[in-house]
A = this chain, B = another copy of it.
Amino acid sequence: MNGICEVTFQPYGKRLSVESGLTILDVARRIGVDITSLCAGKGTCGKCKVKVEFGSENVEPITQKEMKHLSREEVNEGYRIACLTRILGKMIISVPERSRVGKQRLQTEGLEIPIVLDPSTKKYFIDVPRATLNDPRSDEERLLQSLIDRYGLRDLTIDYEAARQLPVSLRKENGRVTVVVWNDQRIMAIEPGDTSQRCYGFAVDIGSTKLAGFLIDLNNGKVMATAARMNPQIPYGEDIISRINYSMAGQDKLEELQEAVIDGINDLINQCCESAKIRPEEIYDSSFVGNTCMHHLFLGLTPKHVALSPYVPAIKRGVQIQAAKLSSLNTYKYGRVYVAPVIGGFVGGDSVADIMVADMLTSGETILDIDIGTNTEIALGNKEKVTICSCASGPAFEGMHIKHGMRAATGAIERISIDPETHELSFRTIDDALPVGICGSGLIDLLAELLKAGIMDCKGKLLDKQIPPQLLRRGTDGIAFVIVPQKTSGIDTDIVVTESDIRELQLAKAAIHTGASIMMIRMGLSLNDISKLIIAGAFGNYIDPESARTIGMYPEVALDKISFVGNSAGTGSRMMLTSKECKIYADRIAEEVHYLELAIQPEFIEEYAKSMFFPYMDLDKYPITKELLTRLNRSRDSLEGVGFVS
């Protein structure tokens, strides 16, 4: 069956005519409909469920592979897995809320770290003398000598494109020109007249999920505008491995992913420029921070070997190139692009930024820095030595693989408390909307509260006897605890947490805790040595530090030692944009920080097993939590299996 099929997506009302034989996901990508896909279209995650509203006769019959992801009801209602279903004729498809990528709460804020303003890119206004028969020096000589005389700028070279501007610019306003100089070394633009007051830079945090951009006035370091959006690579796979797989299918696929992220960045640039009333070509310098995969994809470097053992990046040091190398980037074409260095395959520029923001290499304190994400990077040390590791904590805290998990978007439950006496549950949602799911901070609260209420034991088992019957559900996948019953939820069912959800979260928190434990063992440091625990990451700012500590996400540090730095990748990107010193610091971090490969440490298995417990198998290491749980728990069951229970 060949031909052209008209496909309409609801509720967007987007319509496209395509050749038959494409999958629904293919068509969605073409038309710009973001459908969640964790596996990049391999048919393994089952997240891209859509409903064929009309035209069900124009798709092939449902297969066994699809059936694995669909309930009987869903099949009856016409649900299909978008990546496994090929379109053979005209149809209307509806994308349910849960399959939409959705507008997420994007954190762009980060700490304001005081730095000495010294950007790589600066403007200099200069009045160049006219040539005469008695002084027939070239344009180049007259310009360069004037810059030496006026500003002491020696040994400058002129970029090719600036050289082409030179004879024209020099004669437009009678020798009055503004030169844009990079690193006091290279002239990258020569503009007629005095434009020295308009000199801008753009700092970007390239997250796997979100992009954040900051428009900076390079004359004073001030943030003029901020913008954020989802990473347009998401339709190619929510997780990094899916995107790497996609990029490996060919040079064009790699470039497709590169273009996607640059398109997203251009969108940020345009938003910021519009709001600050500047032209994109007035952005002469930009700075990019991202994890190693984002770093490689942004630069068009194959990320293949980042994903394969022994997981090494192609390039490690900070990259400084002409913007034109990334031809579609919408800044001054012959301006500069800086990409922060990476430490290793699993610890990228975002980790460099973490360590820089925490100033770990020069600070007198011993700092434990945890940047929570799908991969959680943990840095530990002081000016003597800093070590970093990466834990495959997984996307559970981002709501993935969790029955009603979701990102921190409108309607997500972000705060939960349970009365240990009455077991009454209270919650708050983002934007105070009807609850439609539960996000990471809500999940951490939930686990801590279930533990404290004695509804869940230290092994993560739900104790059915402790659950009020109206909040208990039983299914083929074990028992579930109702957070919001259907009648008050924003979706058609109860919002619940299942034992399998708890298992996912348990694995995630165990991974982080194991990393921190092993780092302390390897560095020969005890809890008392740590003077600061810094939580970084966009998501970090929203978690309750006590809940996280209660479930044993990290060692039991006094709450007053814990601080949050938010999106330190963005903060670091801004620092590197506005300070040459910070760029040098970044390379120093990438070179000096020692990478620890967790998986090959002898204590790994034992520590991981112990960390699976809430908060930890050996409760003596959690004296505060031990006291709390012992006091609250009326049932010894909930502490069963924990080391101290003899």
Contacts and interface: CB of A to CB of B under 8 A. Distances in A.
Interface of A: 131-141, 158, 160-161, 163-164, 166-168, 171, 299-302, 304-305, 309-317, 319, 321, 325, 342, 344-345, 595, 597, 600
Given A131-B310, A163-B299, 12 more contacts: A136-B312, A138-B312, A138-B315, A138-B344, A139-B312, A139-B314, A158-B315, A163-B301, A164-B302, A167-B301, A167-B305, A167-B314
Given A171-B305, A302-B167, A137 B315 contact: no
Nearest to A144: B317
A316 B138 contact: yes
B163 A315 contact: yes
A131 B137 CA distance: 54
Contacts of A310: 131-133, 135-136
Contacts of A167: 301-302, 304-305, 314
19 contacts: A131-B312, A133-B310, A133-B600, A134-B600, A136-B310, A136-B311, A136-B345, A139-B305, A139-B312, A139-B313, A158-B315, A160-B325, A163-B299, A163-B315, A164-B301, A164-B302, A167-B301, A167-B305, A167-B314
A312 B141 CA distance: 10
Given A304-B167, A309-B133, A160 B314 contact: no
A440 to B, nearest CB: 29
Given A160-B319, A319-B160, A166 B314 contact: yes
Contacts of A140: 313-317
Given A163-B301, A164-B301, A321-B160, A138 B314 contact: yes
A303 to B, nearest CB: 9
By CB atoms of chain B within 10 A, which of A138, A160, A300, A317 has the most? A138
A340 to B, nearest CB: 14
A299 B158 CA distance: 13
Contacts of A136: 310-312, 344-345, 595, 597
B163 A319 contact: yes
A144 to B, nearest CB: 9
A313 B138 contact: yes
Contacts of A138: 312-316, 342, 344
